[in-house]
A = this chain, B = another copy of it.
């Protein structure tokens, strides 16, 4: 496994190895978490986070746009996702009485029961896959590093655009 730049190397050896390790985790970890949740609770990683986020909100309620920001997902993705969850009876859609432009997702009894049932297994997976083998100082540095990368992406990354309407194209 080398750098994949077609021969040219703009990362030095140490950077390259670090990047390969990070790259592996990027591909492996979401898949592993998805599988655990899908197998044990029939929901995806992202669905779990949406349901769990709702479970911690007053009335089990949040706007779709809030959920989109929270999960770093596009609004359209959340809208489709909520539609699926609604079809399964786990959430309800309700226009915000205050301002009709917003749509609230509201957790149902079934939805709450599902998150509660799913949480222990998920947290255990996170602990097992991420934390169990990391010592204190490594964790602290990991935290820093991740924050650094996250903010680099926010600053000059090609994140999804802030939901524009083009109107003329």
A76 CB, min distance to chain B CBs, angstroms: 14
Question: Complex Cα distance A150/B123, Å?
Answer: 18
Question: Complex Cα distance A141/B10, Å?
Answer: 21
Interface SS, A side: helix
Say yes or no: A150 contacts B5, CB within 8 Å. no
Question: Complex Cα distance A164/B95, Å?
Answer: 47
Number of identical protomers: 2
Within 8 Å of chain B (Cβ to Cβ): is A81? no
A115 CB, min distance to chain B CBs, angstroms: 5
A158 contact from B35, B119, B140, B160, Cβ within 8 A: B35
In the complex, what residue of chain B is closest to A21 when comparing beta carbons? B146
Question: Complex Cα distance A31/B158, Å?
Answer: 8
Known: A10-B123, A145-B145. 16 other contacts (CB 8 A): A5-B52, A18-B143, A19-B130, A21-B143, A21-B150, A24-B150, A25-B149, A28-B149, A28-B150, A28-B153, A28-B159, A133-B149, A134-B149, A137-B141, A138-B144, A142-B142
